Every structure is written in structure tokens, then in C-alpha cells.
Structure 1
Amino acid sequence: MKEYWDQAQRLRRRIDRKIHEIRVLRQRAEGMNGSGINDMPRTVSPDRSKMEGTVFRIMALEQEIQETQREYDALLADMEARIKAVDDADCCDLLSKRYLEFKSWNMIAADFGYSVQHIYRLRDKAVQKLRADESS
């Protein structure tokens, strides 16, 4: 489970970084074309090569996001299938909340109405069931 969690977190961070980079590039591009709303004089001839380079970089980042998103979606789909194979409804619910919805243990405990320590015990049981189902 730790490997899955780490991989999912890495993919989510990678997607977020690329989205942030696109935002920054778009802000820079808006400044390049002089279309900002202000009373400052506009540049007569903006640097087209810089603008084109920025646009191509944005397009490349969007493609990378799509590829990373597909990898992330496949990872989640695999985990979802594995979780659904567990025969205990409470275990499925707990595993889904943690590993598909990425809720914190405190949030899961509140959802279930249990203490965090009890949720940890249920998690151990759920992970054992998940592993048992994988080996069958």
C-alpha cells in the first residue's frame, strides 16, 4: 500500500507542478503581447519568437499533463478494482476513503464515528483482506 500511496502522490504532485508552470507561462505570455489593461503604452512589435516558444512550451506541458493523468487514472482504476474485490463492506469503504479519495485518517475516523486508533486497527484488517484477495 505504501508503494501505491507514494506513486499516486508523486503523480498528483507532478500534475500540480505542470499546471502551475502553465499558469506562470500564460501570465508571462499575457505580458508579452501587451494586452494587459492599463494606461501604459503598448509595445509596437512584441517578440514573436518568445511568444511562439511560450505557446509551444504550454502545449508540451498540456500533453505531459494528459500522459501523467492517464498514468494516474490507470493506477487508481487498478486500486479500485483491487479494493472492490475485498469481501468486507467496511474494509472496502475504509480502503476507498483512504486510497481512492485520499482522505486523512482523522477524516476517515470522523466519517466512521470511531477513534483514529480504531481506524488503524480496521486498516490493518482491511489491508490483510486486500493482500489475501490478491494472493488468491
Structure 2
Amino acid sequence: MVSAKAQSYSDMPTTGRISDLSDYMVKLENIMKSIDNATAECMVIKIAIESAILKMNDGLESELLHKRYILFKSWEVISIELGYEHTHVHRIHGKALQHFDMGGYAIDKE
């Protein structure tokens, strides 16, 4: 799709449809625009989530959610870094999710 096709000769029947390189360029540009739009939408959602995490009252819960959902750390790494047992980290996580508030921002876009 990025470069011109080489001429191929075959004894197989063809459809006779002739396509132009400009058709591929238009398709490529449309795909690139949709990727850019999706990336921008994801960045808006990520910023909203980060802001909501930073606004949490409990610093430990905020730190745990930041490590898990922004830095994508594993539960084992988080428990080592925070100095808590694995099960206690999960308890803190459960409470953090109960206290988490997006401030009216709806992530679910249909």
C-alpha cells in the first residue's frame, strides 16, 4: 500500500479493475487520521484518570492506583515497593477502588 506495485504477468483471468496509487494514498490517509483520533481520545481519558487518582484523599490508595494503572506495575512489585504483604495490597486496592471518583467524567463512550 505504501509503494507502487510491480507489474505481474499471469495466464490467470483477472477482473480488469484498474486501481490508482492515489486510491491507496487516500485509504492510508483515512486510516492514519482514525489512528490519530483514537490516540487523542485515549490521551484525554488517561489524563482524566491520572487527575482523578491525584485528587484522592488517601495518599497510599492514590500511590497504589498510580503504580498499578499508570505505571502498569505487577502486584508483586507494588507490594515490595510499598512494603506490604500481597494480600494487604489487594485490600488497600479494593478500598481505593471504592473511593475512586472520576468526577462525572464518563469513560464509557458508546
Is residue 87 of structure 1 aligned with residue 57 of structure 2? yes
Cα gap change, 1:60 to 1:93, in 2 (>3 Å): same
Output the TM-score relative to the length of structure 1. Answer: 0.55
Is residue 66 of structure 1 aligned with residue 43 of structure 2? no
Is residue 118 of structure 1 aligned with residue 88 of structure 2? yes
Residue matched to 2:66: 96
CA distance in 1, matches of 2:83, 2:28: 46
How far is the alpha carbon of 1:77 from its aligned partner?
1.4
Q: Which amino acid aligns with 1:57?
A: K
Cα deviation, 1:45-64, whole Å, max 9, x if unaligned, reads: xx861x32222222111111
Q: Which amino acid aligns with 1:122?
A: I
Output the TM-score relative to the length of structure 2. Answer: 0.65
CA distance in 1, matches of 2:89, 2:58: 15
Cα deviation, 1:12-67, whole Å, max 9, x if unaligned, reads: xxxxxxxxxxxxx4xxx34x355xxxxxxxx5xxx861x32222222111111111
Q: Counting helix residues as a fraction of each chain, which structure ranks higher?
A: 1
Gap runs ≥5 in structure 2: 8-17, 105-110
Aligned-residue identity in percent: 23
Gap runs ≥5 in structure 1: 1-24, 35-42
Residue matched to 2:24: 54
Choose which of 67, 72, 78 in structure 2 pairs with 1:108: 78
Q: Which amino acid aligns with 1:126?
A: A
- Any idea what SS the aligned residue of 2:100 has? helix
